[in-house]
Amino acid sequence: MLVGIIGAPNKGKSTIFSALTLENAEIADYPFTTISPNFGIAYVNSECPEKRLGIRCNPRNSLCIDGVRRIPVNLVDVAGLVPSAHEGKGMGTQFLSEIMGADVIIQVVDLSGKTDLEGNAAVGFDPAADAEMVSEEMARWLAGIIQKHMQPLSKKGDAVKALAELLSGFNASEGIIRKSIEENGLSSFNISWDDKSDYTFSRSLLRKIKPVVIAANKMDMAASGALQKLKAELGSYRVIGCSGALELALRKASEKNAISYIPGKAGFTVNSGITGEQEKALSYIGSYLKKFGSTGVQEVLDEAVFGIGSKIVVYPVENENRFSDGSGNVLPDAILLDKGATALDLARKIHSDIAERMLYAVDAINKMRIAKDHLLENGAVIKIVTAAR
């Protein structure tokens, strides 16, 4: 799974990326700090079954910290997007091309209102304008691609299939394309849409194929009530307040063993050997966590994957009694699947050969046999039973 981080320049995208990955993305207080995309691995949080099963896991493809399974996902942070990017301004279409490979998008806005659409210093700028500008630029860019191909598309009897072929790199299925056409009252045969129709279709399609969570960053510097105001303005989006700078400080302190901290938690434990200046900074962060419950950064990523990204976590095992693989590793792998995935989908994810030879599955928690088409729940522990070779 690939999660993209986008936004206008100087909103804190690279700070959030660095906090989530502890990669050294370039961070500075001026527009276009990020020129080339930054790629890294981040970890989503999910409750590990070990506690409810009364066992101790030893993961292979993920981490487990105090009963919290931390599962890796791919993360990309791209250059800031400015008005008229679809026409080539700023990093322009390079940015847009890079982000289209993402399954879900985290859009970072400056909740403090201290930067404008171009990333320059401002006072009282409305962060809702950030969200609208980015959405507008992405839609106009996609509409431009469709318009360039309108002549050959107009000759196709079934435009749905033709558009699916054109937009294959965008993860746009025929079903989603058809729904976006229908909800905008457009024709799907021998199409000859105008610019307005291209735009409304593109905007509708993007909301489905590139779901967005808004990271209202710099909340530690925002005015009281700013988050509630933004949520009201962006009612159709999931908006989460956060502070990338405070999360990055906590993760760096944890990396140096100055504190013990589990990302997403409401507190941390200070270890010995910190300086007076560090103690003062940590005291401030502790007060922030006490007030808001967390920095919000981990919550943003978890929402991107498990909320708008509609993923669940499933744990495949070979021994349903010991909840282990063939080597005795307990709950070794945490697999991300789409909500609505079946036992057969899990088998396909493990290996195509296992899926081909699958007979049925076993729910290792209640020891019940389940069919190939059984819908899996989040946190399920599943054994796949196959026919002999």
Q: Do 103 and 192 have their domain in common?
A: yes
The closest of 164, 168, 204 to 183, measured between CA atoms, is 204
Tokens of 28: 């500075």
Render each residue's pLDDT in the chain as its tens digit; 389 residues.
999 999 888 899 999 999 999 864 444 343 444 445 688 999 999 999 999 999 999 999 999 999 999 999 999 988 677 766 566 554 445 666 677 788 999 999 999 999 988 888 899 999 999 889 888 888 888 898 899 998 888 888 888 998 999 988 888 899 999 999 999 999 888 788 898 999 999 999 999 999 999 999 999 999 999 999 999 999 989 999 999 999 999 999 999 899 999 999 999 999 977 888 888 999 999 999 999 999 999 999 999 999 999 999 999 999 999 999 999 999 999 999 999 999 999 999 999 999 999 999 999 999 999 999 999 999 999 999 999 87
Question: What per-residue confidence (pLDDT) applies to 28?
Answer: 38
Residue 328 lies inside a defined structural domain of this protein: yes
Residue 274 lies inside a defined structural domain of this protein: no
Residue 205 lies inside a defined structural domain of this protein: yes
Q: Do 221 and 321 have their domain in common?
A: no
Q: Do 91 and 194 have their domain in common?
A: yes
Please report, for the chain, how many H helices and E strands are present, in that order. 14, 14
Q: Do 227 and 354 have their domain in common?
A: no
185: left (phi over 0), alpha (psi -120 to 50) or beta: left
Residue 97 lies inside a defined structural domain of this protein: yes
Q: Which of 233, 263, 282 is the last residue of a domain?
A: 233
CATH, residue 347: 3.10.20.30
Please state the φ and ψ torsions of residue 258, each to the nearest 5 degrees.
Answer: -75, -30
All residues at 6 or more sequence positions from 59 whose CB lies less than 8 Å from its CB, including other chains: 69, 329, 331, 332, 333, 334
Tell me the C-alpha to C-alpha distance, in Å, between residue 215 and each of 125, 302, 373: 16, 12, 36
Question: What per-residue confidence (pLDDT) applies to 87?
Answer: 62
CA–CA separation, 309 and 339 (whole Å): 9
E-assigned strand segments in the chain: 2-6, 38-47, 63-65, 68-77, 104-110, 212-217, 238-241, 259-260, 269-270, 311-317, 335-338, 358-363, 368-370, 380-386
Contact 313, 341 (CB under 8 A): no
Q: Which of 233, 258, 285 is the last residue of a domain?
A: 233
Q: Which of 233, 265, 289 is the last residue of a domain?
A: 233
What 3-state DSSP class applies to 346? Answer: helix
Q: How many domains does the chain have?
A: 2
CA–CA separation, 347 and 362 (whole Å): 12
Residue 56 lies inside a defined structural domain of this protein: no
All residues at 6 or more sequence positions from 379 whose CB lies less than 8 Å from its CB, including other chains: 46, 47, 49, 312, 313, 314, 315
Residue 89 lies inside a defined structural domain of this protein: yes
What 3-state DSSP class applies to 216? Answer: strand
CATH, residue 138: 1.10.8.470
Question: What per-residue confidence (pLDDT) applies to 38?
Answer: 81
Domain ranges, residue 340: 311-386
Q: Do 228 and 320 have their domain in common?
A: no
Q: Do 223 and 322 have their domain in common?
A: no
**Alpha-carbon torsion, ordered 196, 202, 205, 207, to 10 deg:** -100
Q: Do 224 and 356 have their domain in common?
A: no
Q: How many CB atoms sit inside 10 A of residue 265's CB?
A: 18
CA–CA separation, 125 and 333 (whole Å): 45
Quick one: how far is CA 281 from the chain centroid? 29
Residue 21 lies inside a defined structural domain of this protein: yes
- pTM recorded for the entire structure: 0.89
Contact 23, 118 (CB under 8 A): no
Please state the φ and ψ torsions of residue 73, each to the nearest 5 degrees.
Answer: -135, 155
Question: What per-residue confidence (pLDDT) applies to 33?
Answer: 45
Token pair 């191909």 is found at 149
Residue 288 lies inside a defined structural domain of this protein: no
All residues at 6 or more sequence positions from 44 whose CB lies less than 8 Å from its CB, including other chains: 70, 71, 73, 301, 302, 305, 306
CA–CA separation, 330 and 261 (whole Å): 25
Q: Do 6 and 139 have their domain in common?
A: yes
Q: Do 211 and 342 have their domain in common?
A: no
